[in-house]
Amino acid sequence: MKGRGYKATPQRVAILEALAAEQHQSLDEIHAKCPHVGLVTVYRTLDLFSEIGAVRRLDLGDGSRYELAEAHHHHLICDSCGSISEFEGCPIDPERLDVEGGFEVRSHSVEVYGNCAECL
């Protein structure tokens, strides 16, 4: 279940379950789902998960949020209610990126801002 050499402690399992319950949560929201785990451990564990690629950290302007790294997708952020949703159809073709000057592309992210169906 875990990558090489990492222990599956109860705390880590709890945090993984919290992450599985909902995408793009803030650290506080995750911690609220397993309050018996120390806050520092939540920070540490999310760092660890990010490093091994199990979790992606999002910086969408309202503090860090975390999501399980599943299928490639991007985010829709509602200007009025702040809700975050996902869309799968990736509009970027890495091969065709018009990036001059020897920059070697590894990955990308796209954020789309506007208004969600509820707010309209």
**What residues line the site for DNA (CB under 7 A)?**
5-12, 27-28, 36-41, 43-45, 47, 63-64
User: Other CB atoms closer than 10 Å to residue 33's CB: what's the count?
Assistant: 17
Site for a copy of itself in 48-107 (CB under 8 A): 57, 59-61, 76, 78-79, 85, 87-89, 91-93, 96-107
Q: Which residues are paired to 56 by β-bridges?
A: 67
User: Two tokens at 34?
Assistant: 């397993």
Angle subtended at Cα 42 by Cα 17 and Cα 2, rounded to the nearest 5 degrees? 55
Residue 100, burial from CB neighbour count under 10 angstroms (0-12, 13-18, 19+): exposed
Q: Which option in a copy of itself, DNA, none does residue 47 bind, with CB closer than 5 to 8 A by kind?
A: DNA
At closest approach, how far in Å is the CB of 74 from a copy of itself? 9
Three-class SS state of 120: coil
Q: Could you tell me how many residues of this chain bind a copy of itself (CB under 8 A)?
A: 37
Site residues, a copy of itself (CB under 8 A): 57, 59-61, 76, 78-79, 85, 87-89, 91-93, 96-117, 120
